Amino acid sequence: MSSSELCLERPLFGGAITSAFPQRFQDASNIRQVPDHQEVFVDPSRDESLIFELLDFKSDVGDNGSASWFLQDLAREQDAEAFKLIDQSQVIEAPGLSFRNIPAVVTSAVGEMAISKGRQGREAQNLVRVYVANLRLKGVETDVLVTAYEPILINPLSESANAVGSGLAVPASQSGILPMCDVIKHAVSTFRVNDWSLFGSSA
């Protein structure tokens, strides 16, 4: 890695989970309301974000391509336009995340979409690359989603333009920082459950 950026282990959900990612990502709950089942971290200077989300296990979604399913669901939820799936991974076993010998698996997907911030309309859409990793913790009937947002093109009408400027985003490699594709890989590979009781009665 050409980046010398330091990744720090961070407590998530009161320390029940830990994951390591760059220090430049700040806890968004200091700035705004974040739902209990989410942990949201942002780098305001680049308008990049990293989100950890705990969802009830979606038994009707097969492991193969599960991350792509969640990515498309995300695009629908955010009223995205011009969605395209760029890449998706095979199903990989995650031995460190099995519970009571019930294996856990991970899939990932990458897509691009045009989305507006908050309540802004379609005329203010940014082109964003979105990385999703789905950690399927079957032993505790939970789908964990790790999502990374990386703006590619900032619309001058978007509120993001005030913070980071409009036009093509400056590539991470030029700024000497870890690109989002590596940020999410690192966050997923260091993802640990320290307290399984977080997942309620099934644990």
Quick one: pLDDT at residue 3? 58
Structural domain count, the chain? 1
- For residue 86, what is the domain's CATH number? 3.40.1000.10
Give the residue ranges of the chain where pLDDT is below 50: 1-2
- Establish if 2 belongs to a structural domain: no
Q: What pLDDT is attached to residue 191? A: 97
pLDDT for residue 4: 66
201, part of any domain:
no
52 lies in some domain: yes
Longest dimension (CA), the chain: 51
In a domain, 178, yes or no: yes
The beta-strand segments (E) located in 33-125 are: 38-43, 48-56, 81-88, 92-93, 105-115
Q: Quick check: is 199 in a domain? A: no
> Which residues span the domain enclosing 148?
7-193
Tell me how far apart the alpha carbons of residues 95 and 22 are, in angstroms, rounded to a whole number.
25
Residue 79: inside a domain: yes
